[in-house]
Structure 1
């Protein structure tokens, strides 16, 4: 099934553009950017050749089945959908305070005067993202990877005594659960059950995979301090500015958590280039447990998206299939 994403027109965003950048320039074009399963991302082009980016948080732009509504806004769940202007602004403030570059906000609006949804207009960082540079010129990308590693060091060394979304913890809130590992265990078991309901191979291996998940979780020792993590930092979420410095985007998932969770995702997404981002002092038992939990999440999540009208269906199916095989590899050889 091929699904076309909705299109937001120039006329619909003309008032947004004036509010963000004033009336001295005219909006001449609006184009949707690739990606974005929870919000719409559009490039605004002006008659003086300048550009900006608009983020739109509205139900029609959210492709996660069942995501809209009160349950999606429960920020006490560290893994609830990381979407919304509140999370975006809190993450932007925290990263700016740490000196970590993100696109500068030109307008943040909840009033509905300019558009019938929460929105933000931010600077358009020129140039390519790190994923494109790694494909085109891996050797040239090494400087960007080194700078990204430095930024991640600053991020991960910023700690808190509680875990959860920055918008919650920075305002004295408390997250659900007893610990990061318990939150991950609960989520992994839910992801396993959800994946098993959609794929016969996962259903056949469900009991054995659950036993492995529980055994890996039981080996993790308690922790009382948590680092700041992006939460979904692939190379496509790193833009490079004119100086080659990394600019982090899709920051709504910023939270205090075990940094091992971030490193598992970095290892998966950066592949051979992860060696630039590796860090000393990581807990091997957490890495093992979180790797399987992440694989299960990357099966259940894409399969859930395919229940809805997400447009890039082949790509999402490939993600689910690859991670399904990786999850099954955690089973003992004689139990596969």
Structure 2
């Protein structure tokens, strides 16, 4: 792997960007952007043209410990160029804005990584905009509501990633229950305070699952849609990023996470017809996932330790209040 400090060689990134530009300006610099635990995200400065962003998938860019990576099922590791391209194609076809793909290069000579050159959306991310100018951010949130409604209205023949690489059998709620119990077991192994209430938490999760009625109706979900995964386009429109996890699944799974991340702004994002029993089960599952997942990353030497520790503490507070 050709990388600098665990990152892809900037020269390789500039070379790919230059091929994508095809003479429309000259690539003159590379800046690594924050975020991303499964791919590298780099802005390439362009002299005489507009900047571009390069996504890089490769071992040096993947920060999850190998033992913590899920390989099967609806929550399998959302990593790779094909998942990105498949999701972008389906979302764009539904009228959902994502960064436009300008160039794709597989197995780049030298670093041996996959890369995609995409447009550099000029605006900030929604999280930053809300912190800086809440009124302006709320206007974007209001435009995001119809996007979520459009996605919820799309129907898949089964659950799984939109690329078709993962198609499964079994009810979504059963899969979520099994995963929640695994996350509880792993979290309790790493956190004595969770171990102390493990029995009560397990009862709460199992009882929530028992209230869910069978259903076979799947909508399109992003899977991890927080304000940090929404950029603001030049016209103030929401632009979804980190879309590799996009799949057909119970829409309630998406909306539990969206409510958690957007807080009181969620009233502008709720869609009609959500199942309360599923919301109850998925709330437990999401919270347990947000304990176990960060704890796994911390074992892998993730740099932003305080951020992950804060996520875990927030979820432990919720769990403590519900047992």
| Matching residue of 2:84 | 88
| Matching residue of 1:22 | 22
| CA apart distance, 1:49 | 5.1
Cα distance, 1:67–1:19 mapped onto 2, change above 3 Å: farther
Q: Secondary structure at the match of 1:247?
A: strand
Greater shift in the superposed pair: 254-263 or 43-52: 43-52
| CA apart distance, 1:73 | 5.1
Q: Secondary structure at the match of 2:173?
A: helix
> Runs of 5+ in structure 1 lacking a partner?
332-336
In 2, the alpha carbon distance for the partners of 1:59 and 1:300 equals 22
| Matching residue of 2:137 | 141
Are positions 1:225 and 2:181 aligned together? Answer: no
Cα distance, 1:86–1:190 mapped onto 2, change above 3 Å: same
In 2, the alpha carbon distance for the partners of 1:11 and 1:221 equals 54
**Equivalences for 1:158-197 in 2 at 5 Å?**
158-168=154-164, 174-175=167-168, 177-197=169-189
Deviations 1:54-73 (A, max 9, x none): 111111111111169xx755
Are positions 1:239 and 2:220 aligned together? Answer: no
Cα distance, 1:95–1:47 mapped onto 2, change above 3 Å: same
Count of equivalent residues: 320
| CA apart distance, 1:114 | 6.9
Greater shift in the superposed pair: 127-136 or 184-193: 127-136
In 2, the alpha carbon distance for the partners of 1:49 and 1:108 equals 19
In 2, the alpha carbon distance for the partners of 1:111 and 1:142 equals 41
Structure-2-length-normalised TM-score: 0.94
Q: Secondary structure at the match of 1:100?
A: coil
| Matching residue of 2:41 | 41
In 1, the alpha carbon distance for the partners of 2:27 and 2:156 equals 43
Structure-1-length-normalised TM-score: 0.91
8 Å Cα contact 1:292-1:330 kept in structure 2: no
8 Å Cα contact 2:7-2:61 kept in structure 1: no
RMSD: 1.8
Moved over 3 A (4+): 4-10, 71-74
| CA apart distance, 1:83 | 1.1
